[in-house]
Chains A and B, each alone.
Chain A
């Protein structure tokens, strides 16, 4: 780490950004007129009533109605050569922070000082024009990202090589396959050489092989001593590349420090399910005798959460409310992907466990030793039947959880959803001298 006497290369101080709800001001003359005249109405407060798109928590509400703080008093430093990850759930303000630091939009108050040439990659292929050839787009895209023509010319062969599209370099990109297009776009971006690089989740592009190539490139860029600010949902990637991390929550920094510490804070504080109450959910079948009242998804230490690291343990806790007796209860849990592909059905009977008859409200726990799933969102269906015949309750999509990436196999090559849905540990070996 660089000497503490040096000024930080990125200095963010009390950075705040206020947005109007819905993200827009009056966009037609009519609205402005309404806004103007509403000031003269006896009860007018000058603001046009507006449909709120989401509930704003009181801490984030802005000084006037219909405004909210997307960022509030953000402060952190980045030393030259550090790779810093910015973590947070959707809506925590990550993208807004990147936009402000990339000068795409201006902060409402506070400031940020960047001591070096900045390039930001919020997307690959920004400004690509379909009619232009690969060659022309390399130059156009490169200059849009802030490179000089001479700089691009110098790296041209390297870029084409990296993208692996030599044969098509003089073909308009509209004739490219989507894979080629993305590879070319990333290749240009990968050859930026700013002092400070600001990257959004653009790494999630291309097929697995190319993804590996990109990862390698990111790693080597980081090792060259460049300063990188990285936003990604891929916790595993963060753990591999970053030395430090900043956790955003509701527009504020809630934790910063070593990447391990921040990631565990993030996982610990991931939002709780809305109490997991199931009684209000609609049902197609059921006896009204017994109901699945509540579901909670817990980690191995019984903490509630919706984010689980690949390979970590999980406990599914079900609360059953009953007014009668279930002589031979079977409880089933079906796991599906977000695209409704059924992964497996897990039930007490198949697991070799006979539940005792249920006569009173009770809580049942199902413990899964390791969630061998790749990152993504998974959904649970629940059922409660009596082996004697009655279907007491059946719910689809009763709960969900997210699996976040982690380098569980410790290979330095974290896997993600492009690899499939599940993973297995595997042992590899070579046998010499085996005759064909």
Chain B
């Protein structure tokens, strides 16, 4: 016989205006998070020839393309860092962000069917996508390490490369990148649920955003009149932080760093409000 747990009472009513986070519920659905991450991983690589090796091949191909297009043809300087290493480092941070956002932005539209049939905390889906991408990040880190070792010990450029004690900050930067990308994902998914037009914009926004972020050029090369962009773009500080911790090269003032942290928190908080407002009735729209 099952007796209702005395402490368990769920009240369904129109939500209050302010945010309310059901921590207990999120904790109860932790197993779902695990299986969603596993699903992402399996569904992506089952029946592929290379399997998880794609995690490594993809960024390598992008790096090669960048070396040719931005390094050789456009001749954009790389702060004295060997091109492949410079781009790979920038891509580590940027790919993590863009993949999180690309998946997260379609949370409502891609899962409309699921959302219409069963309840679970919706935020679990974009969160699962981010955790899957952390795994991808770790795998992509391996070829980067290989390149680093090569350039550090077998080329003359090695003298200027330092991966020192600052590496301990790497998890913190990744955490900030995760939070910021979750915030952006929630914003984008909430707006696509309301306005389908945004779907067409998202891809474009992310592309443009990459060029506004020091991925293919060093932060030090940004002209003074565009510096405000760096202050407004938390990703600029995040990508540059990756270079400082992993390569020992980069310019990042305390002002820009603080601004990026403040903006990350602000994005996350506002996104939670918008997302919660949307998730209550999103099913009626999608």
Which residues on the B side are within 8 Å of A126 (C-beta)? 114, 117-118
Q: What mask results when residues 104 to 123 of chain A are scored 1 for a CB within 8 Å of chain B, else 0?
A: 11111111111111101011
Q: With a 10 A CB-CB cut-off, give which of B3, B13, B118, B120 has the most chain A CB atoms.
A: B118
Which of A21-29, A86-94, A371-379 binds B?
A: A21-29
Total interface residues on A, CB under 8 Å, equals: 57
Contact B284 A113 (CB under 8 A): no
Partner of A118, one of B10, B34, B117: B10
Which residues on the B side are within 8 Å of A26 (C-beta)? 194-195
Tell me if A332 counts as interface (CB < 8 A to partner B).
Answer: no
Which residues on the B side are within 8 Å of A139 (C-beta)? 35
Which of A143-151, A260-268, A339-347, A381-389 binds B?
A: A143-151
Give A103 to B15 CA distance when docked, in angstroms. Answer: 12
Which of B38-46, B146-154, B243-251 binds A?
A: B38-46
Contact A132 B196 (CB under 8 A): no
Expressed in whole angstroms, the minimum distance between the Cβ of B19 and any Cβ of chain A is 15
Tell me if A19 counts as interface (CB < 8 A to partner B).
Answer: yes
Which residues on the B side are within 8 Å of A27 (C-beta)? 194-196, 285
Which residues on the B side are within 8 Å of A241 (C-beta)? none
Q: What mask results when residues 23 to 54 of chain A are scored 1 for a CB within 8 Å of chain B, else 0?
A: 11111111010000000000000000000000
Tell me if B29 counts as interface (CB < 8 A to partner A).
Answer: yes
Give A148 to B117 CA distance when docked, in angstroms. Answer: 19
Partner of B117, one of A108, A109, A123: A123
Which residues on the A side are within 8 Å of B116 (C-beta)? 99, 104, 122
Residue of B nearest to A148 (CB): B31
Which residues on the B side are within 8 Å of A143 (C-beta)? 29, 31-32, 34-35
Tell me if A193 counts as interface (CB < 8 A to partner B).
Answer: yes
Tell me if B223 counts as interface (CB < 8 A to partner A).
Answer: no
Contact B284 A136 (CB under 8 A): no
Give A23 to B36 CA distance when docked, in angstroms. Answer: 30
Contact A107 B12 (CB under 8 A): yes
Contact A132 B2 (CB under 8 A): no
Expressed in whole angstroms, the minimum distance between the Cβ of A133 and any Cβ of chain B is 9
Contact A110 B42 (CB under 8 A): no
Give A128 to B268 CA distance when docked, in angstroms. Answer: 31
Which residues on the B side are within 8 Å of A229 (C-beta)? none
Contact A104 B1 (CB under 8 A): no
Give A195 to B13 CA distance when docked, in angstroms. Answer: 20
Tell me if B4 counts as interface (CB < 8 A to partner A).
Answer: yes
Q: Is the interface of A mostly helix, strand, loop or mixed?
A: loop
Could you tell me which residues of chain B, from 4 to 60, have a CB within 8 Å of some CB in chain A? 4-5, 8-15, 28-29, 31-32, 34-36, 38-39, 42-43, 46-47
A-B contact count (CB 8 A): 140
Which residues on the B side are within 8 Å of A115 (C-beta)? 4, 8-10
Give A162 to B117 CA distance when docked, in angstroms. Answer: 23
Total interface residues on B, CB under 8 Å, equals: 42
Partner of A116, one of B4, B14, B47: B4
Given contacts A107-B14, A108-B14, A127-B114, contact A116 B284 (CB under 8 A): no
Contact B35 A193 (CB under 8 A): no
Given contacts A80-B3, A103-B119, A195-B2, contact A32 B11 (CB under 8 A): no
Residue of A nearest to B195 (CB): A29
Which residues on the B side are within 8 Å of A195 (C-beta)? 2-5, 8
Which residues on the A side are within 8 Å of B274 (C-beta)? none
Expressed in whole angstroms, the minimum distance between the Cβ of A92 and any Cβ of chain B is 18
Tell me if A412 counts as interface (CB < 8 A to partner B).
Answer: no
Give A19 to B119 CA distance when docked, in angstroms. Answer: 20
Contact B2 A224 (CB under 8 A): yes
Give A430 to B51 CA distance when docked, in angstroms. Answer: 62
Give A147 to B3 CA distance when docked, in angstroms. Answer: 17
Contact B4 A9 (CB under 8 A): yes
Which residues on the A side are within 8 Å of B166 (C-beta)? none
Contact A107 B13 (CB under 8 A): yes
Tell me if A278 counts as interface (CB < 8 A to partner B).
Answer: no
Tell me if A225 counts as interface (CB < 8 A to partner B).
Answer: yes
Could you tell me which residues of chain A, from 219 to 246, have a CB within 8 Å of some CB in chain B? 224-226
Tell me if A326 counts as interface (CB < 8 A to partner B).
Answer: no
Partner of B14, one of A106, A117, A129, A136: A106
Could you tell me which residues of chain B, from 75 to 124, have a CB within 8 Å of some CB in chain A? 114-120
Contact B42 A132 (CB under 8 A): yes
Residues of B within 8 A of A (CB): 1-5, 8-15, 28-29, 31-32, 34-36, 38-39, 42-43, 46-47, 114-120, 194-197, 280-281, 283-285
Residues of A within 8 A of B (CB): 9, 19-20, 23-30, 32, 80, 99-118, 120, 122-123, 126-127, 129, 131-132, 136, 139-140, 143-149, 172, 193, 195, 224-226
Top 3 A-B residue pairs of the complex, sorted by shortest distance between their CB atoms:
A111-B13, A116-B4, A143-B32
Sample (28) of A-B pairs whose CB atoms are under 8 Å apart: A19-B284, A25-B285, A26-B194, A27-B195, A29-B195, A80-B3, A100-B12, A104-B118, A105-B284, A106-B12, A110-B13, A111-B11, A111-B13, A112-B12, A113-B10, A113-B12, A114-B9, A116-B2, A120-B119, A126-B117, A136-B35, A136-B39, A143-B34, A144-B118, A149-B31, A193-B2, A195-B4, A195-B5
